[in-house]
């Protein structure tokens, strides 16, 4: 561990190579964190995210891991500890969203999505529960559709309902460790993945739903994460709906 890393708070951000995860990583970098950008696919996008963290004022490395594979996740946490001396914050943004009506939903797709969203959360949280230092935070990612219940979201909402349960129970299981456990539940957020395939009328209708009359941005979500990661020590065992008031 190098001397300049010794005084930094250290964060692991899974799914940190793009979308909301990348913005979270960059925001934590601006807060002075050393950030481990976890990714499963594009090494190039992960490297770009690490560069953005550094440009914002933080330190960053990239580590590839399948979040549902326990040996790979353990290796990710091992690397963070070797490089930076410990782990203070784990933000688990990695997940899949594959939509379709329940009556015709492909069960193989269901299994694939639930492997990432449920097993992945369980595996990442298991390592986090063992390793996050006193004064730290574990932040999972849920969704506002667990409350909004739109058609086509049964499989995805079911997986994120499991994330809610894991979050609330883990917060209680970590009694005495001074580690908070919460989940952020975004509403419609203007990421490339969300906007892809939607016509302008659909986007405009979704943007009109919140009282603030716009879609969320990745920075809106990252702001909530930064709050839970740092000053919000008395918020614990909660699902924080970050959706502009639509729920």
Which has the minimum average pLDDT: 85-89, 116-120, 152-156, 196-200?
Answer: 196-200
Please report which confidence band the pLDDT of residue 247 belongs to, taking 50, 70 and 90 as the band edges: low
pTM of the model as a whole: 0.94
Concerning whether 156 is annotated as a catalytic residue, the answer is: yes
Domains and CATH numbers, the chain: 3-188+218-241 (3.40.50.720)
List 33, 153, 156, 241, catalytic entry: 156
Could you list the beta-strand ranges (E) of the chain. Answer: 10-14, 34-39, 59-64, 87-92, 132-141, 180-186, 239-242
Q: In the predicted model, is pLDDT for residue 199 greater than 90?
A: no
Residue 6 has pLDDT above 70, yes or no: no
> What confidence score (pLDDT) does residue 2 get?
39
């Amino acid at each position: 561990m190098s001397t300049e890393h010794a005084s930094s708070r250290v964060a692991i951000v899974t799914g940190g190579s793009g979308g909301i995860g990348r913005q979270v990583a960059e925001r934590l970098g601006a807060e002075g964190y050393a950030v481990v950008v976890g990714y499963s696919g594009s090494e190039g996008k992960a490297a770009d995210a690490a560069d953005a963290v550094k440009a914002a004022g933080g330190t960053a490395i990239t580590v590839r891991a399948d979040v549902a594979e326990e040996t790979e996740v353990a290796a990710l946490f091992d690397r963070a500890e070797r490089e930076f001396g410990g782990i203070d914050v784990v933000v688990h943004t990695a997940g899949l969203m594959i939509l379709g009506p329940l009556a015709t939903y492909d069960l193989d797709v269901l299994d694939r999505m639930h492997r990432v969203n449920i097993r992945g959360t369980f595996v990442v949280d298991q390592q986090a529960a063992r390793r996050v230092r006193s004064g730290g935070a574990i932040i999972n990612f849920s969704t506002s559709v667990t409350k909004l219940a739109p058609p086509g979201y049964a499989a995805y909402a079911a997986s994120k309902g499991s994330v809610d349960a894991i979050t609330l129970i883990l917060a209680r299981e970590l009694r005495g460790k001074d580690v908070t456990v919460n989940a952020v539940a975004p509403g419609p957020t203007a990421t490339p993945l969300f906007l892809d395939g939607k016509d302008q009328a659909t986007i405009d209708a979704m943007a009109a739903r919140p009282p603030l009359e716009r879609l969320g941005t990745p920075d809106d979500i990252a702001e909530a994460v930064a709050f839970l990661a740092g000053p919000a020590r008395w918020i614990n065992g909660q699902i924080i709906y970050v959706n502009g008031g639509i729920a």
